[in-house]
Chains A and B, each alone.
Chain A
Amino acid sequence: MGHTYQAVQWNPQKKRYDQLVVGGVLLYLAVFMAVSAAVFPEATLETLLIRGLGTAALVLLHIILSIGPLARRDPRWLPLLYNRRHLGVTMATVAFLHGAFSTLQFHAFGDVNPIVSLFTSNTRVDSIAQFPFQPLGACALVIVVLMAATSHDFWLRNLSAPVWKALHMLVYVAYALILLHVALGSLQTESGTVTPAALGLGAVWLGALHLRAARAEGARDREEEVREAAAAEGWMDACGVDEIPEGRAKVVVAAGDRVAIFRSEGHLSALSSVCQHQNGPLGEGRVVDGLVVCPWHGFQYRPRCGTSPEPFDERVPTFRVRVEDGRVLLDPRPLPLGTETDPVPVSSAGSSPA
C-alpha cells in the first residue's frame, strides 16, 4: 500500500458534516435540558444532563442504524453512509459521558468501588419492575467504546475485514442492551408512556427499514445471479449503453462480487467494484481526470488496468466488455491483476472485445 495514516481524513465536506453533528448534539442537549427542566422542575441539573446525554446517544444510534438501509434504497443518503464512522465515534463519546456521569452520580460516593457498586448495588434480577438496568447499559457501553476505539482504517487492515466487520456488527447487540437498559430504567423512574412508546417506535422503524432493505437487496441479487448463471462461461448481458451516465458506472454482479462498468469520454471499462482500501464501493464513485475515484476515501484507479497512479500500488481486477446493438456485454471472468484492457467506444457496432 502506498499511503500514510492520518488521524482523520478530513476534507471540506467532512469538516462541515462533523460541525453539523457536534452542533446538532449540543443543540439537542440544550433543548432537551430546557424542556425537561420545565416539565420536571424537581430534577437536578446533573439528572437532566445524564438523561440528555443518554437520549442523545440513543437518537444518534437510531440515525446510525438507519443510514445503511436508507442508503441501499436511495443513493441520496450515501454521503451520510460515507461519514457514518464519525457519527459512531460521536455517539460513543456521548454514551461514555452519560455512563461516566451516571457512575459518578450514583456510585462514586460510597465505600464500594464505583464499578463494583454498579454491578452489585441492585441484585433484583427476579423483578421486572426493579431489574438492575445499569449493568445492561454498561455492557452496551463497552461494545460502543470498543467499536469507536477500532474505527480507524488501521484496525480494519490489521484486524482483517471479516474480524473488523464481525466486531462492528456487535452494534446490534449493543442496541438490544440499550433498549432493555432504557425500558427497564424508565419503569423505575417514571410512570408515563412516552419513553416506552418512543422506544417501540424506534425499534419498529429500524426493524422495518432493515427488512425492506434486505428484501430489495435479496431480489436484486437473485436477479443478478440468474443473469450471471445465464451467462455461464460466455459473455453476460450487463445493461444498456444508455444506462451508464458519462463519468459514472453501472454496477452488476459477476464472479461472486460487484463489477463496475464505467463510462468515461464515450468509452467503457469494467473494474471490480471493491476498492482495495477498505472494500469501498468503487462503482458509486465517478471518473475524475481520467481516473476512477472511490467515494469513501478518494483512492484512484486507472479504468483500463485497475492500477493506482504512482506512487500508489493498489490494484483491482479488470474485466473485458464489448458493445452489441446498444447492449453492454461483460466477460464475467476477472482478468489477472494489472491486465490492460482497451476501453470500448459506446458507439461501437457489432462485436468488439476489449
Chain B
Amino acid sequence: MTTIEVLVALTGLYLAVGAVFSIPFALVGAGRIDPDARAATWGFRLLLLPGAALLWPILARRWATGAQPAEERTPHKCAARDRTGAEA
C-alpha cells in the first residue's frame, strides 16, 4: 500500500467510527454535555450528525467526562467578577 492509500484508509476508518458515534451522540450524548440540547428538535439532532462524525474524539471525551459548556469569558464579565471579589 502507498502512503496515500494508507492515509485514505485511515481517514475512512475515522469517519466510519464517527458516523456510528454520531447517532447515539445526537440522540443522547448532546443532551448530556449541553442541557439546552436535551429537549431539542429532531431537525437539530439531524444537523448534529455531520459535525459529530467529524469531531467525534472531542465529543466522546466530553461525554465520557461529563463536561458542561463553560460560561463565556468576556473582559466585562471578568472585570465585573473581579469587582465583586474586591467588594466582598
Residues of A within 8 A of B (CB): 1, 3-8, 113, 115-116, 119-120, 145-146, 148-150, 152, 154-155, 157-161, 255-257, 259, 272, 274, 276, 279, 316-317, 333-337
Contact = CB atoms under 8 A, between A and B. Distances in A.
Contacts of B74: 257, 272, 274, 279
Contact of B48 (A152, A161, A272, A337): A152
29 contacts: A1-B35, A4-B40, A4-B41, A5-B37, A5-B44, A7-B44, A7-B46, A7-B47, A113-B8, A116-B8, A119-B4, A148-B50, A149-B50, A154-B34, A154-B36, A154-B37, A157-B69, A160-B69, A160-B70, A255-B75, A272-B77, A279-B74, A317-B80, A334-B79, A334-B83, A336-B83, A336-B84, A337-B77, A337-B84
Contact of B76 (A120, A146, A148, A316): A316
A92 to B, nearest CB: 10
Contacts of A257: 74-76
Contact of B8 (A7, A119, A150, A158): A119
Contacts of B46: 7
Contacts of A145: 50, 54
Q: Chain B interface secondary structure, helix, strand, loop or mixed?
A: helix
Most chain B CB atoms below 10 A, which of A149, A160, A256, A333? A149
Contacts of B48: 152, 154
Interface residues of B, number: 39
Contacts of A8: 43
B80 A334 contact: yes
A115 B30 CA distance: 31
A154 B33 CA distance: 10
A116 B79 CA distance: 53
Contact of A113 (B5, B36, B44, B75): B5
